[in-house]
Structure 1
Amino acid sequence: MIPPQPITQIITPASKRKPKPPQRPPQIKVQKLDDKPSVEDYEQLASMIQMFIDRRSHKQNGARTEKPIKTSLRPKSSEKTTKKEKEHINLTTLSTLPEQIITASKNKDSQEVIFDINTGSAEQTVDGQYVFIATITLVKDRDKNILVDTGLGTNINAKSELIRSLEIHGLTPSSIDIVVSTHGHPDHVGGVHEFPDALHYQGWYSHQGTKFNLTALFENDSLNLSENVMLVKCRGHTSDDIAVVVRDAKGRGDVLVSGDLFMRGEDIDHPMMWQPLSADIIAQRESRRRYGCIVDWVVPGHGGMFRVTDDVKKALKC
């Protein structure tokens, strides 16, 4: 048996201790934007997504009852914006050829001007083939510049035309605070890479090198982007469509920027303009009714803005 050592042999008095050399800070690996993502990057993203899927499944299985979305977009009386505050709201529709400018009729309560610059279209070239050009919409709400959809990136002139359209309103790509992609089809997301400084909102689709809010719409049906602008779920055209509602836009009231939830105004009376392109006709019909019935105007995915008249509400079965 080894005898125990005296305690003085295993404890050094503080006065005789040698100072430890300063520790180097941990090495942090910085991934450049042009580096390819590693396996760990994909695993981390997959873990995040799975975590929110599990939370949502737990919620839907009875842990908590999901609150239904309110059927009115009007603010409470205590949240009403004043006439002066409304003057900060500007809704502008952009697209690829900034040639035509349509000025909205001015009323006593508003000086709002809406620029409709050759909005998106869906044209048949030969039997069974179409050319889709998505509408691009700029929403200015006080200090927030929000861009809804970015067009088709394969159009060789799309980049310069979009930038020129922004310049008309005194903006550059770096001036855009938020980019909303209503769904992941290429005619709507082809230009997202032009806005690396913006915060991007969309469904499950993503684009390398941009900042995304992956959690915002997993828990709720709506999300406020700014004081008068909200993001809403409206699946049907695809499994994860989103749209933008602008509340109390001057001269327009409540406006829905719908993506392909509404293809164009004519599809109200002609379902064959949207149903063959729908991933879920029943869900899309309900989303069209749900949001079309509570706004005054709609900016569709491939056509000009149209008013929600009594005839439109009747067709939607409001």
Structure 2
Amino acid sequence: MEAGREVVCGGFTTVPLSESDFPGQPYSVSVLKSGYCRPQTDGSFRADGTITLITGPRTVLVDTGGPWDRDFLLRTLRERGLGPGDIDVVVGTHGHSDHVGNLSLFQTALMIVGYDVSEGDVYRPNGLAAGHAHCIDEHVSVVPSPGHTGQHVSVQVTGTSAGTVLVAGDLFECCSDEDSWRDLSMDTAVQEVSRQEALRTADVIIPGHGLPFRVLRNS
């Protein structure tokens, strides 16, 4: 269901969505918490990152929120019948504290943080730094999407009811971020390329600090 008016993003027409669950076979995607970023009168801002759960043959958590989200995250997983030990893979899209504040809860999971892939203290070779996707299986892959940080990644899920869903971290702040994302980018030219690729290939994008949004294309 649409949650707002159409917005032009990177030359593509997008529309915010009200739903947070995207069922599918074999994988479903659920936004456990939508991130936010709110400027304050003293020049600071309040921010927290989106937390997303992917369920299917593997259980994947994308971003863990800030350390202040610990109790919320544990409670929300428990409501879904899950504990930290049930999470197979944890992906940190990038290393900012509002996205990776609870990694330590998931000590048995495969960790993918930026371009690092590790199991415990064993770091596995992978092709992310060379621009290649790291496939969890044929339906879920971690794709390099640098710009916001040098080793930023996103998670692509195919076959949901909404089509291809991209859990994008801070590749996109929100649907209407055209006036803000550049101020937060380490490399705007590189991030623009990553954003264009996402807009070309994803049907729904879950941003780091706002509601999911659909990318509309001419049929």
Partner Cα distance (2:189, 2:207) in 1? 19
**What is the letter of the counterpart of residue 149 of structure 1?**
D
Q: 1:197 to 1:190 in 2, by over 3 A?
A: same
Aligned in 2, Cα 1:205/1:187: closer, same or farther, shift over 3 Å? farther
1:212 positional shift: 4.5
Q: Report the CA distance shift for 1:213/1:186 in structure 2 as closer, same or farther (over 3 A).
A: farther
Please tell me whether residue 229 in structure 1 is matched to residue 140 in structure 2.
yes
**TM-score after normalising by structure 2:** 0.82
Superposition misfits of 4+ residues, deviation over 4 angstroms:
204-212
2-structure distance, mates of 1:90, 1:204: 24
- 1:198–1:208: structure 2 CA closer, same or farther, 3 Å change rule? closer
The alignment yields a C-alpha RMSD, in angstroms, of 2.2
Counterpart of 1:198 in structure 2 is 109
SS of 2:157's partner is strand
- 2:166 aligns with 256
How far apart are residue 226 of structure 1 and its match? 2.0
1:128 & 1:221 partners in 2: Cα distance? Answer: 39
**What are the residue-to-residue correspondences of 1:75-114 with 2, within 5 Å?**
87-95=25-33
Aligned residue pairs total 195
Q: TM-score, normalised by structure 1?
A: 0.57
For the pair shown, the structure with the greater C-alpha radius of gyration is 1
Write the deviation string for residues 267-313 of structure 1: whole angstroms up to 9, x where unpaired: 1xxx22211000011111110001211111000001111111249xx
The answer for the alignment partner of 1:184 in structure 2 is 95
Q: Which residue in 1 is equivalent to 2:77?
A: 166
CA 1:210–1:178 in structure 2 vs 1: closer, same or farther (change >3 Å)? farther
* C-alpha displacement of 1:206: 9.1
In structure 2, what is the Cα distance between the partners aligned to 1:291 and 1:185?
A: 21
Equivalent in the alignment of 1:137: 52
- Which structure: greater strand fraction? 2
TM-aligned CA distance change 1:307 to 1:200, over 3 Å: same
Counterpart of 1:262 in 2: which secondary structure?
A: coil
Q: Distance in 2 between matches of 1:189 and 1:207?
A: 15
Q: 2:36 aligns with which of 121, 130, 135?
A: 121
What is the percentage of aligned positions where both structures have the same residue? 36
Which residue number in structure 2 is paired with residue 293 of structure 1?
Answer: 200
Query: Contact 2:170–2:208 at 8 Å: present in 1 too?
Result: yes
Cα 1:146–1:166, aligned 2, differ >3 Å: closer, same or farther? Answer: same
CA distance in 2, matches of 1:126, 1:207: 41
Tell me how far apart the structure 1 counterparts of residues 43 and 194 of structure 2 sit (CA, whole Å).
27
Query: In 1, are the aligned partners of 2:91 and 2:111 still within 8 Å (CA)?
Result: yes
Partner of residue 303, structure 1 = 210
